[in-house]
């Protein structure tokens, strides 16, 4: 048994509890949870860098989207070669995405792998 005051960290940090007792996923859990994800969005190679820099996904950068995804649902954002890039929330449902203008927002950025560099101190 390890005493609580001596335990610094153990394993992979999946998330943190907020002050209001809600659990918030961190980008460090991305590779652990991706195989179990039901809702995914795949980006074209031209939109990957934009997403990793913290921008939202436009219809023009959308490669594929899982069937039956509703508006305001959490999704895993992937590259076309199935590399996980981050988390997002859908701004439109799957059916609305098909009819959307190429400049309209499809997925709202929540977290991405670029946070390893931008917020290095906060993730540890």
Round to whole Å and give the CA distance between 54 and 107: 12
What's the confidence (pLDDT) of residue 123? 55
Bridge partners of 107, per DSSP, are 57, 90
Tell me the CATH number of domain 38-123, given options 2.30.130.10, 3.40.50.11540, 3.30.70.270, 2.40.50.140: 2.30.130.10
What's the confidence (pLDDT) of residue 85? 95
Instruction: Compute CA 1 distance to the chain's CA centroid, rounded to the nearest angstrom.
Output: 35
What's the confidence (pLDDT) of residue 115? 75
Torsion over CA of 94, 74, 110 and 78, rounded to 10 degrees? -60
**Positions in the chain short of pLDDT 70:** 1-2, 4, 7-9, 119-124
Query: Where would I find the beta strands (DSSP E) of the chain?
Result: 15-17, 23-25, 40-43, 57-58, 62-65, 74-79, 84-90, 105-112
What's the confidence (pLDDT) of residue 26? 83
Domain ranges of the chain: 38-123
What's the confidence (pLDDT) of residue 120? 66
Q: Residue 89's closest CA among 74, 101, 67?
A: 74
Bridge partners of 14, per DSSP, are none
What's the confidence (pLDDT) of residue 124? 55
Q: 30-65, pLDDT tens digit by residue?
A: 889 999 999 999 999 999 999 999 999 999 999 999
What's the confidence (pLDDT) of residue 122? 63
């Amino acid at each position: 048994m390890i005493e609580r005051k001596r335990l610094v960290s153990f394993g992979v940090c999946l998330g943190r509890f907020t002050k209001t007792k809600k659990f918030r996923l961190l980008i460090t859990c991305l590779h652990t949870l991706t195989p179990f994800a039901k809702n995914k969005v795949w980006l074209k190679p031209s939109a990957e860098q934009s997403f990793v820099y913290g921008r939202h996904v436009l219809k023009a950068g959308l490669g594929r989207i899982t069937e039956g995804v509703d508006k305001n649902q959490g999704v895993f954002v992937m590259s076309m070669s199935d590399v996980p890039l981050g988390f997002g929330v859908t701004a439109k449902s799957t059916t609305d995405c098909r009819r959307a203008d190429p400049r309209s927002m499809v997925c709202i950025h929540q977290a991405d792998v670029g946070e390893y560099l931008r917020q290095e101190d906060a993730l540890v």
